[in-house]
Amino acid sequence: MHIFELHTYKIDLFFPEIPIAQVKEKVKSLLTQSSVQRICKEITNLDFYFFSIGYLREDSQLVELAQECGMSIDDLRKASIIGDYLFNTIDENGKLVSSGLEGLAFNLSLHQLNQLALDNQKRIVAVAGGNKKLSVIRAGIEARLFNILITDEGTAIQLLEKVS
C-alpha cells in the first residue's frame, strides 16, 4: 500500500482598484516576500501540471489584459504573437515574444515549462483542441512545452498528419 501526500494549488490574484501601470510594481514587490517565494519554489517542485493553451481571440484574458495596457489584438498579431502558454506569449515556433505584459502575472516561464516537460518524472499536461488552437499546440510541441496533450480527435488527427 502506497501512502502519499496530496496537495493542490490554485492562486488567483486580482488588483481591481489598482491602475494597470502599478500592477507590475505590486507583483514585483510580492515576489520579494518569503511566503510568495516559498509558493513559487513549491510550484516548480510539483509532479503534475495541468493548463490550457490560449490563442488570440477578442474575449481571451490575454487580449483583455493587453487592452488594459493600451494594446489591441492587432498589436499582438503584428508582434507575431499567435497565443500563449500561461500568459507567456509565443510565436509560431513556440518562442517567447515580448508583449509588454510580462510582470503582470505569477506564472511559470517558457524555460521552466520546457525544463519540466523534459523531466521524465513530471507530467506537464496541456489541455487544448480545435482548429483555432492548432498552430499554438504545434508551437508548444516544437518548443517542448508539455509532455502530455489532452485534445479532441480532429485536432489529434491534424497534428499526426503534419508529422507523417
Q: Is the dihedral of CA 74, 76, 81, 85 positive or negative?
A: negative
Beta strand pairing call for 148-150 and 123-127: parallel
Identify which of 14, 46, 19 has the alpha carbon closest to the alpha carbon of residue 30.
14
| HSE-CB of 67 using CA atoms within 13 angstroms | 10
Please write the tens of the pLDDT for every residue from 88-113.
999 999 999 999 888 777 788 999 99
Higher pLDDT, 62 or 153: 153
Given this model, what pLDDT does residue 50 score? 92
Q: Which among 52, 74, 72 is positioned nearest to 64, based on CA atoms?
A: 72
- What's the 3-state SS for 22-83? HHHHHHHHHCCCHHHHHHHHHHHCCCEEEEEEEECCCCCHHHHHHHHCCCCHHHHHHCCCCE
pLDDT more than 70, % of the chain: 90
pLDDT of residue 121: 94
Beta bridge partner(s), residue 123: 48
The residue that leads in pLDDT, 102 or 81, is 81
Instruction: Report residue 89 as a C-alpha cell.
Output: 506569449
Span 117-156, pLDDT tens digits: 999 999 999 999 999 999 999 999 999 999 999 999 999 9
